[in-house]
Structure 1
Amino acid sequence: MKTMTLLALATALPSIALAESHMEAGSVPLSYGERPFFLIDAMEDGPLKEQLMSCQGQMPERSAFSIGHRGAAMMLPEHTKQSYVAAARQGAGIVECDVTFTADKELVCRHAQNDLATTTNILVTDLAEKCTTGFTAAAGDESASAECRTSDLTLAEFRELKPKMDASNAKATTAEEFQGGTAAWRTELYVPGAEVMTHAESIALIDSLGADFTPELKSASVEMPYDGFSQEDYAQKMIDEYKDAGIDPSRVWAQSFNLDDIKYWIENEPEFGAQAVYLDDRYEAEDDDEGLIDPMDPSTFKPTMQELADMGVNYIAPPMWMLVTTNDAGEIVPSAYADEAKAAGLDIITWTLERSGPLASGGGWYFQSVSDVIDDDGDTYAMLDALAQDVGVKGVFSDWPATVTYYANCMGL
């Protein structure tokens, strides 16, 4: 069957080349690249593989089901111009800028306010002296560490930084060594020339690429209010930058793990609040915290799904593993969490596909509830199919959006 699969792929190459030359009006040329076909070839024989194989000659089309998680962070430095462009070229209909702020309260794209030590070259620049906690070398059982925040820098200083893949070397004895640690299944080929971005710049870029927006208001590492800048000011400033850019609210899915942010937007910016996405991380609560969620036990859902809906929440976004489990036949099926969310009329978005590396060992954290049936990279599409067809999610964040775009195009999502 492997030989037949490769033969079918080779036969389809002219169509694939034609598809990769496809241009959407006012956008960028779209390309699936090699990865979707690599994953399909790795799948077990069956109806899903046959269906995905049948779509090899299709023309790539942008899909809102495909969401660029930090851009295309599997292979490019996250939250950079180049990562956002790559996500759009892979057909992501929505691209994410995680939003935090600098010392002068300007909004920038970073996954966390305090991630500069692992996502930029700050520790090997003169700006290292401004870090909240400077570099500490590894010693004995203690790993190397540093903490550098966007709030340690002005916007002008932030612009001086050069992005890198998000990684660090825990055994480093120098700041230069600390720059390493990139996972073997990622790459540093596309690091040179990568550019950091402000939130406003990301809006202009993503708009020009023909995609829509899902900014995440990140929790501050500094105490709020910060120099008179309250949490409400922060939440409002993020929305104001879309309004200033003339972006229709229907194109924006504002996210937060903080339910109070969601409620603020619902009350104060109802057009944006209607699509606000509550990122659900209550699985991280302490055991004695009544917010702890067991995805298989609806009695632990506090607030309940219906209570969230009654607050005006329309979108909820848990990690993938919370939405699925396995049945006695070893099939991936919806969890009680997924069933309760749908019963309450909540739309579901989930994260993050293509963030686990090779799946031969069960897929790690993102696949933890179905790890017993995950044993190779082809299972990426088994998971995605269950989320799309059985759970009924409205979109999937991915570190390599082409994988999701291909599926969405093939299935007509």
Structure 2
Amino acid sequence: MCLTWGPGTRFRRRARLVAEPLLIAHRGASGARPEHTLEAYELAARWGADYLEPDLVATADGQLVARHENEISATTDIAERAEFADRRGTKVIDGVEVAGWFTEDLTLAELRTLRCRERLPALRPDNTAYDGQFTVPTLGEILDLRSRLSEELGRKIGLYPETKHPTYFRGIGLPLEEPLVAALTAAGLNRRDAPVFVQSFELGNLIALRRDLGLAVPTIFLAAEEGAPYDLESSGDPRTFADLLTPAGLAELARWVSGIGPHKDLVIGRSEDGSLAGPTPLVARAHAAGLAVHPWTFRRENEFLPTDLRQGTDPGAAGDVVAEIRAHLAAGVDGFFTDHPDLGVLARG
């Protein structure tokens, strides 16, 4: 069986042919601009990213917008907006109590009055120069940007959306899946050869997208180092992320998804001193099951790097993320998520 997913990449069961590993701009060029803004996505494409990655959440009127979380006090100026003071609340999301302001309590028109800000100001102080300049983008705007940049740059720019907290959003009557499929279809991108992947930390919604809602593009199951998919946990299914990454688990995943997006440390672990260790068996196991492997997330700041690739002791100082990415490419991954597309191009080159 031969599967073709995205520009320049082919995968086959028990064999892998990769013209060039995919460079996925994690929330755009989020190392250089506030994340999930049109400006971050555009910069990422111009720096050479193959795919732009928006995390999708819903507004009160059912519009899909790009935010890392539906709680937006860290990524917008809403906490300083007196007119929304009464919207602050506390909710239980995926079993965790969260306090703040939430996209599902604002209409799109209200959300669009807010301005974005840098989520990690202590680590990325230069990005704070852009605070207050950008608005929260809709999925439609991101699709339009993708189309324009593809034409302008003369190459296909892909889209790699993530459905955030899909069980939670469906439970409050604001499902993410139907409007996502509708938007991709309207843009002419709901076809198997389109430069699109849809990703989720939950398995059930990926199955439903493919089986029940007519999604034709490849899907990617995301996996954390610990814990379990919330949809399985909340339904009493005992399987954890670790269970789903065993050979038997991967074979089951391959019935429904096209690949996995594991935390990078599941591909190459850390030694006791925090330095980069050797590759785990995960890539070989996934490829044997016919699954692509796209690990996340490569960032240049010391805070996120193995100890042997850090420069100095400042958590926000730039270490050698190029070496970390290259180690994972040598381990056989088929693509990678990075906040720094320019350094991703350098590492891949």
TM range (shorter): 0.7 to 0.9
Q: Which of 203, 212, 215 lines up with 1:259 in the alignment?
A: 203
Partner of 1:163: 116
Q: Residues 49-75 of structure 1: CA distance to partner in whole angstroms, max 9, x if unpaired?
A: xxxxxxxxxxxxxx7721111111112
Q: Distance in 1 between matches of 2:245 and 2:297?
A: 24
Q: Residues 340-394 of structure 1: CA distance to partner in whole angstroms, max 9, x if unpaired?
A: 212212100111111x612xxxx54xx5xxx36434356422221121122x222
Partner of 2:164: 218
Partner of 1:399: 339
Instruction: From the superposition, tell whether residues 263 and 221 of structure 1 become closer, same or farther in structure 2 (CA, over 3 Å).
Output: closer
Superposed CA RMSD in Å reads 3.1
* 1:101 equivalenced with 2:101 (yes/no): no
In structure 2, runs of 5+ residues without a counterpart are 1-19, 91-97, 151-156, 230-236, 312-317
Q: Distance in 1 between matches of 2:113 and 2:86?
A: 13
* 1:339 equivalenced with 2:272 (yes/no): no
Partner of 1:241: 183
Farther-moved stretch of structure 1 (264-273 vs 120-129)? 264-273
Conservation of the 8 A alpha-carbon contact between 2:292 and 2:334: yes
Conservation of the 8 A alpha-carbon contact between 1:76 and 1:191: no
- SS in structure 2 at match of 1:247: coil
Q: Which of 229, 246, 253 lines up with 1:301 in the alignment?
A: 246
Q: How many pairs does the alignment contain? A: 302
Q: Distance in 2 between matches of 1:293 and 1:101?
A: 26
Partner of 1:8: none
TM-score normalised according to structure 2 size:
0.77
- What is the percentage of aligned positions where both structures have the same residue? 27
Q: Distance in 2 between matches of 1:285 and 1:254?
A: 19
Q: Residues 83-113 of structure 1: CA distance to partner in whole angstroms, max 9, x if unpaired?
A: 1111111111100111110111111111111
Letter aligned with residue 224 of structure 1: R
Q: Distance in 2 between matches of 1:81 and 1:277?
A: 23
Conservation of the 8 A alpha-carbon contact between 2:301 and 2:319: no
- SS in structure 2 at match of 1:316: strand
* 1:291 equivalenced with 2:291 (yes/no): no
Q: Distance in 2 between matches of 1:271 and 1:105?
A: 19
- SS in structure 2 at match of 1:162: coil
What is the CA-CA distance between 1:299 and the residue it aligns to? 9.5
Partner of 1:321: 265
In structure 1, runs of 5+ residues without a counterpart are 1-62, 135-144, 168-180
Q: Which of 101, 107, 110 lines up with 2:67 in the alignment?
A: 110
What is the CA-CA distance between 1:406 and the residue it aligns to? 2.3
Partner of 1:357: 301
Letter aligned with residue 183 of structure 1: L
Letter aligned with residue 276 of structure 1: T
Q: Distance in 2 between matches of 1:122 and 1:221?
A: 25
Q: Distance in 2 between matches of 1:336 and 1:222?
A: 33
* Structure number with higher helix proportion: 1
Farther-moved stretch of structure 1 (123-132 vs 202-211)? 123-132
What is the CA-CA distance between 1:291 and the residue it aligns to? 3.1
Instruction: From the superposition, tell whether residues 106 and 385 of structure 1 become closer, same or farther in structure 2 (CA, over 3 Å).
Output: same
Partner of 2:314: none
Q: Residues 260-303 of structure 1: CA distance to partner in whole angstroms, max 9, x if unpaired?
A: 11111221355535x111111262349xx943455xxx897396
Between structure 1 and structure 2, the one with the greater Rg is 1
Partner of 1:89: 46
- SS in structure 1 at match of 2:141: helix
Q: Distance in 1 between matches of 2:222 and 2:279?
A: 19
Q: Please show how residues 132-281 of structure 1 align to structure 2 within 5 Å.
A: 132-133=88-89, 146-167=99-120, 181-183=121-123, 186-210=126-150, 211-219=157-165, 224-227=170-173, 229=174, 231=175, 234-247=176-189, 249=191, 250-269=194-213, 272-273=216-217, 275-281=218-224
Partner of 1:17: none
Q: Distance in 2 between matches of 1:225 and 1:341?
A: 32
* 1:68 equivalenced with 2:68 (yes/no): no
Instruction: From the superposition, tell whether residues 187 and 157 of structure 1 become closer, same or farther in structure 2 (CA, over 3 Å).
Output: same
Instruction: From the superposition, tell whether residues 184 and 196 of structure 1 become closer, same or farther in structure 2 (CA, over 3 Å).
Output: closer
Q: Which of 82, 102, 105 lines up with 1:126 in the alignment?
A: 82
Q: Distance in 2 between matches of 1:251 and 1:300?
A: 26
Letter aligned with residue 296 of structure 2: W
* 1:382 equivalenced with 2:323 (yes/no): yes
Letter aligned with residue 204 of structure 2: D
